[in-house]
Chains A and B, each alone.
Chain A
């Protein structure tokens, strides 16, 4: 019940394309859903996060879509650029102090010029 399933494992798009990464969770107690971007040799950096009281959130070129009934959420990257090439992780947690993040398996995104 603590798992977060992420797909696809890898994704290749052309510059300007809109890669979509999907995640599904089991634990209905989760109430915080962040996405992280990780470059090789670096720690993850928070991209955008959503709470289950909204169905969509946009920050710049990044959009999270959230479907509470389906227990799914996804990341869309608009007008993707080669600099977006990185590994993306979805995660989920319960919004109480000290609770852990449960990570998805990660998606390696390559944006070709």
Chain B
């Protein structure tokens, strides 16, 4: 069974203070690892898909990286509008199209 563990559960940063969120996963063959952002009262918003170890993707202040066991979401010089819950999900070869989600990291950026 695919498993995803995210850490920390919550993170408070000062505006401009860079940090990283962790997503550790166990899957029988990785088809894709997905990062989503979720604002309160809204549905998850797609950010990135990573397919293989060593791959990196960037979007504004966010950069996602992937190894064979974990993924990191690096946030550089964050702004208050980056405050949200960040969710990680995996799709494995034996799980058809379903995504297995972690419980998320709640990020708060203090002005």
**A, B: real partners:** no
